[in-house]
Structure 1
Amino acid sequence: MSRERLMVGLDVGTTKVACLVANVVDEYIEVIGLGTSPSRGLEKGVVVDIGRTVQSIRKAVEEAENMADVRVQNAYVGIAGKHIRSLNNSATVSITRPDRIITAEDVRRVVEAARTMPLSPDVELIHVIPRQYIVDGQEGITDPVGMTGTRLEVDVHIVLGSVTAVHNLVRCVEAVGIGISQIVLEPLASAMAVLSSAEKELGVVLLDSGGGTTDISVFRGGDIWFSKTIPIAGEHITNDITVGLQTPIEEAERIKKQYGTCLVDSVGDDEKIEVATIGGESTKQVSRKKLAKVIEPRVEEILDLAMQEVEDAGYRDLIPAGVVITGGTALLSGIAEYIEKRYGLPARVGSLPQGIHGLRDIVESPIYATGIGLLKYAVETRDFVPTKRTRGSKGMLGKLFGWFRSFLRG
């Protein structure tokens, strides 16, 4: 019999904290609560002020709790930032039993061998993601349990982070009284929210450009092959507007969202907008084309840096599905068209996936892609640690390796 579960996705970003609460029955996700708060205490995705970060998380969580009429105990928490790095590795084990039937224990052994590598004390292992298994030379196997063979290989994608950054994020979440069901790489979560199976199979780049960082991930053959974070994103565009139009930063953010575009040629010469002056005591008229001329160079820089990372990693010619952009920067008018023209690749803005119900009109924005993706991650990996109706404070740092159960369940 199906049983309703309460689940929570917590996206702690550089410019905002978003908390999503959902009812889940099987794979049916109904969002029943959303809380957001301006993020204070993070820089480039890394906690720099624990007290302010805790306050931001608490505000978002309480807002979501009030909307959903629940008390949150556990959450799937996204992580990103300039400290994140990744690499690919492989390993092989022999199957020596007489029947040569591969078991879950063999899979555990080969994954364990692939994740075993010398790590410096300041590095934390976040994910070890099997991309494919190979049995006696046969590639492309997703679940080898029950197959017959003498040699089992695995290719894995390993995600690493700074011990300090990971543990400080965990401290902030647990200080609010919330246990961590699992730490999840934000690009991985966002991909589950906005990428189709066909795109991931064919080859696609996902750019999740938020406030302080842009997360880059490449998918091929249905799996993640490359991930990287660059410390430049939407807040840099806002700062440019502040300087270029001599307006307060809050006003710069407003006009970026309301009037911003990265296509200068699409704006008429006679289009004007009202902009608050420094001090906020008066307004002035500014050409919208001037605003676009401030925005376009920074967008060009962000995208060029991201695509250069893809090219340096050797995937530039292996992404026929093109580019999907999500996060706050994806809301800029004309950005998909800009990407298509500049790089000669198909491009689209990531949209909310099918199967999401409830507050759909609220959370369909790209800015909530990570929060929605965290919910889908838990459902698709079947790695539930349901939240409860009463708040708890038990530490869950050990669940950083919860991925292991997901991949070994039969």
Structure 2
Amino acid sequence: MEEHENIMVGLDIGTTKICAIVASIDEQERINILGVGKAQSDGLNRGVVVNIDKTVNAIKDAIAQAELASGIQVNSVNVGIAGDHIRSMRSKGVITINNRDNEITAKDVERLLEDCQRIMLPTDQQILHVIPQEFVVDGQDGISDPVGMSGMRMEAEVHIITGLVSAAKNMYRCVERAGYQVADLILEPLASSYAVLDEEEKEAGVVLVDIGGGTTDMAIFQDNTIRHTAVVAIAGQKVTDDIRLGLSVLDDQAETLKRKHGESYADLIEEDETITVPGIAGRPPKEITKSILAKIVQARMEEILEIVGIEIKRSGYADSLSAGVVITGGGSLIKNICPLANEILGLDAKVGIPLGITGGLKEEVNSPIYATGVGLVMHALRSGTANNQTMIPSSSQGTNVEQVMQKITDRMKSWFKEL
């Protein structure tokens, strides 16, 4: 990668924006943001690449801005992946320990995690992450790190996240065509969680909801481990579409109305002002009241939160979310989202902004829209220094896709040979 091993680049390839963040970590594990770049994205639909050229240009643009701000030449990037093709499931595995003194080693854990991956997957789906939930050694459960313990038999329960092969491939293709290497491919809700959740929340039980442009990503944590993930293909873009159709305005006008005047909870509007929107092609301007706009926004926001509620029930962790819900992403900037989430989900809600940044362009990324980008660099920086939850090691030394893929799982090799 760069001269300095401890500099990482996160690339959040979103449906509405592409964001590149360059950050470094020092000996005290303090994170400094060195450069930020943002470009409009037109090449994705609901989190999946649909136009390679447009996406490549936007990636180049965003990284060029980040390079300019940081003065660092970017070679490899940590990319986030989302889209409603993401699936998560649980799996179990068991192995016997056959060392001389029955001491469990890191190799044994690796062998066990490989055993957990023996699941039947459709040919178009591929494993992205394998996250250990808990280990059981000789019937003793509740173990989070079994290395160094003695035992004859070790079992594990893992959370496996899979995605569409073609979606991951196209993501790689865009980054490579823009002239960069992919160091790692990380699930976006997992990345966002590194940036906006603190350890206490993860311990107590929390649901992270990242309302982006094309997808709403969610992750449920409890006892410091990710327990459930889901990606829903309804998000901010749908709110804009509703405004455009409901009020018969242009797409840009709908987006501006949403950002400037949009509210998630019509009953909480203090004074109902009238907003004037210029007419299309010389037609007279339109008068729109704030309450009508809020009703349109609220209907869609309620739908998003209701789907989140269904996913929470599906996860089986509905009763153990003491820390409530943390909402992040661009959609969390719509006014009064927290009271609405509070009412629909019955959980305490707050807006999550990136935490744990000590220096550099700290103010520039102090917004929920940068949660995923900041989380991607945090994941990469921390996985190099701390004992990371996901099995996939940071691969800043990766010199080509083949090496990277080996780090994710050997089984991923086959479909990358065509690249």
- TM-score where L is the length of structure 2: 0.90
Residue 34 (structure 2) pairs with residue 32 (structure 1): yes
Matches within 5 A, 1:17-28: 17-26=18-27, 27-28=29-30
Residue matched to 1:402: 407
Sequence identity, in percent? 42
Q: Offset of 1:126 from its aligned partner? A: 0.7
Structure 1 residue matching 2:179: 3-state secondary structure: coil
Partners of 1:4 and 1:25 within 8 A in 2: no
The one-letter code matched in structure 2 to 1:396 is V
Structure 1: 5+ residue stretches without partners: 406-410
The one-character-per-residue Cα deviations of 1:38-74 (angstroms, maximum 9, x if unpaired) are 1121111111111111111111111111111221101
Matches within 5 A, 1:292-303: 292-303=294-305
Structure 2 residue matching 1:64: 3-state secondary structure: helix
Q: Offset of 1:281 from its aligned partner? A: 7.0
The one-letter code matched in structure 1 to 2:223 is G
Q: Offset of 1:303 from its aligned partner? A: 0.8
Alignment CA distance shift 1:310-1:133 (3 Å) = same
Q: Offset of 1:25 from its aligned partner? A: 1.7
Which of 150, 153, 165 pairs up with 2:152? 150
- For residues 118 and 156 of structure 1, the distance between their equivalents in structure 2, rounded to whole angstroms, comes to 15
Aligned length: 398
The one-letter code matched in structure 2 to 1:201 is E
Matches within 5 A, 1:326-345: 326-345=328-347
Q: Offset of 1:8 from its aligned partner? A: 0.2
- For residues 145 and 314 of structure 1, the distance between their equivalents in structure 2, rounded to whole angstroms, comes to 29
Which of 203, 208, 232 pairs up with 2:210? 208
- For residues 325 and 402 of structure 1, the distance between their equivalents in structure 2, rounded to whole angstroms, comes to 31
Alignment CA distance shift 1:400-1:316 (3 Å) = farther
Structure 2: 5+ residue stretches without partners: 385-392, 411-419
The one-letter code matched in structure 2 to 1:62 is A
Partners of 2:6 and 2:381 within 8 A in 1: no
The one-letter code matched in structure 2 to 1:372 is V
Partners of 2:135 and 2:156 within 8 A in 1: yes
- For residues 280 and 112 of structure 1, the distance between their equivalents in structure 2, rounded to whole angstroms, comes to 65
The one-letter code matched in structure 1 to 2:12 is D
The more displaced of 317-326 and 156-165 is 317-326
The more displaced of 263-272 and 199-208 is 263-272
Partners of 1:274 and 1:286 within 8 A in 2: yes
Residue matched to 1:15: 16
Partners of 2:102 and 2:150 within 8 A in 1: yes
Residue matched to 2:129: 127
Which of 245, 248, 269 pairs up with 1:246? 248
- For residues 83 and 176 of structure 2, the distance between their equivalents in structure 1, rounded to whole angstroms, comes to 20
- For residues 76 and 266 of structure 2, the distance between their equivalents in structure 1, rounded to whole angstroms, comes to 46
Q: Offset of 1:267 from its aligned partner? A: 1.5
The one-letter code matched in structure 2 to 1:98 is R
Alignment CA distance shift 1:59-1:358 (3 Å) = same
Which of 174, 177, 180 pairs up with 1:178? 180
Residue matched to 1:217: 219
Alignment CA distance shift 1:138-1:278 (3 Å) = farther
Residue matched to 2:413: none
Residue 11 (structure 2) pairs with residue 6 (structure 1): no
Q: Offset of 1:108 from its aligned partner? A: 1.3
- For residues 294 and 403 of structure 1, the distance between their equivalents in structure 2, rounded to whole angstroms, comes to 43
- For residues 154 and 272 of structure 2, the distance between their equivalents in structure 1, rounded to whole angstroms, comes to 66
Q: Offset of 1:4 from its aligned partner? A: 6.3
- For residues 277 and 398 of structure 1, the distance between their equivalents in structure 2, rounded to whole angstroms, comes to 55
Matches within 5 A, 1:239-388: 239-279=241-281, 283-382=285-384, 383-386=393-396
- TM-score where L is the length of structure 1: 0.92
Structure 1 residue matching 2:363: 3-state secondary structure: helix
Residue matched to 1:408: none
The one-letter code matched in structure 1 to 2:277 is V
The one-character-per-residue Cα deviations of 1:246-279 (angstroms, maximum 9, x if unpaired) are 2211121112111111111121454222323334
The more displaced of 147-156 and 369-378 is 147-156
Which of 160, 163, 166 pairs up with 2:165? 163
Alignment CA distance shift 1:289-1:280 (3 Å) = farther
Q: Offset of 1:182 from its aligned partner? A: 0.5
The one-letter code matched in structure 2 to 1:232 is I
The more displaced of 245-254 and 359-368 is 245-254
Q: Offset of 1:351 from its aligned partner? A: 1.8
The more displaced of 230-239 and 251-260 is 251-260
Q: Offset of 1:241 from its aligned partner? A: 1.1
The one-character-per-residue Cα deviations of 1:362-398 (angstroms, maximum 9, x if unpaired) are 11110110011011111222144449xxxx9x54254
The one-letter code matched in structure 2 to 1:19 is A
Matches within 5 A, 1:67-86: 67-86=69-88
Residue matched to 1:50: 52
Q: Offset of 1:400 from its aligned partner? A: 4.1
- For residues 210 and 131 of structure 2, the distance between their equivalents in structure 1, rounded to whole angstroms, comes to 20
The one-character-per-residue Cα deviations of 1:270-299 (angstroms, maximum 9, x if unpaired) are 422232333477643321111111111110
The one-letter code matched in structure 2 to 1:305 is I
Partners of 2:24 and 2:381 within 8 A in 1: no
Structure 1 residue matching 2:239: 3-state secondary structure: helix
Alignment CA distance shift 1:377-1:401 (3 Å) = farther
Structure 1 residue matching 2:323: 3-state secondary structure: coil
- For residues 98 and 348 of structure 1, the distance between their equivalents in structure 2, rounded to whole angstroms, comes to 52
Alignment CA distance shift 1:255-1:400 (3 Å) = farther
Partners of 1:15 and 1:38 within 8 A in 2: yes
